[in-house]
Amino acid sequence: MTGVHSPIQHYNLFKSVIIVFATQAAIVLFMPLPIGALEIIRLPILVLNLIIAITLGWRLYKRMYHMTFTYDKKGFTLKKGRNEEHGYKWGEFSKVSLIRTEYGEFSVRLYRNRDDFFDLPVSKLKLNPFDFRFEVMQLVETSRI
């Protein structure tokens, strides 16, 4: 019952690449270029944009969205992008539920009390939500004994 999960979230990676690509495309669109020049440099600019979009998109994804989830029998840590790492002990929680978001993604919700909870985004971590819920329930129960 230990593990490190850090899968690539393709949707967020794609979103990051598109953000960078669209920004570059907007810059090129409003750049004052001599008449006829765009025809000649269109393909090189497109290739260059794509290379930059993939490189910067990857960096943006790693900085903003990439998640690393580590857990063992005692507790877990979740890090999103370059944000602060959240670390908790299983024993801090009393109830476990499975949440489905309006986008169809699943999270395992850990309750300290009725209004104080922490969501583990299991769909984003590419874990099986149904199996992982039972695993977490067991870990929480064992830690509370």
Partner 1 sequence: MSGRGRWIADFNESFRNFKISEVEFDAFVRGNTRMKGFVLSRLFSFLLNPNYSVGCFFFSIDSVKSFDKKHLIKLITTVKSGMKENEMKWAWLFLFGTENVEKIQKYVEGVDDKTVGIALLDINSKNIVRSNSYLGRQAKRYIKI
| Sequence-distant (≥ 6) Cβ neighbours of residue 20 within 8 angstroms | 52, 53, 56, 57, 60
- Beta carbon nearer to partner 1, 77 or 143: 143
Contacts with partner 1, 85-104, as mask; x by CB under 8 A: ----------xxxxxxxx--
Contacts with partner 1, 47-86, as mask; x by CB under 8 A: ----------------------------------------
- Beta carbon nearer to partner 1, 57 or 129: 129
Measured over the CA atoms of residue 62, residue 18, residue 40 and residue 44, the dihedral's sign is: positive
5 binds partner 1 (CB under 8 A): no
Across the chain, the runs of DSSP E, i.e. the strands, are: 3-5, 67-71, 75-80, 86-89, 95-100, 106-111, 117-120
Q: How far is the CB of 135 from partner 1 (least distance, A)?
A: 12
Question: Alpha-carbon distance 76 to 89, whole Å?
Answer: 6
Instruction: Count other C-beta atoms under 10 Å from residue 133's C-beta.
Output: 21
- Beta carbon nearer to partner 1, 89 or 95: 95
Pair of tokens at residue 141: 């129960």
- Beta carbon nearer to partner 1, 30 or 103: 103
126 binds partner 1 (CB under 8 A): no
Pair of tokens at residue 44: 């090189």
Q: How far is the CB of 124 from partner 1 (least distance, A)?
A: 17
109 binds partner 1 (CB under 8 A): yes
Question: Alpha-carbon distance 112 to 118, whole Å?
Answer: 8
Binding site for partner 1 (CB under 8 A): 95-102, 109, 114, 133-134, 137
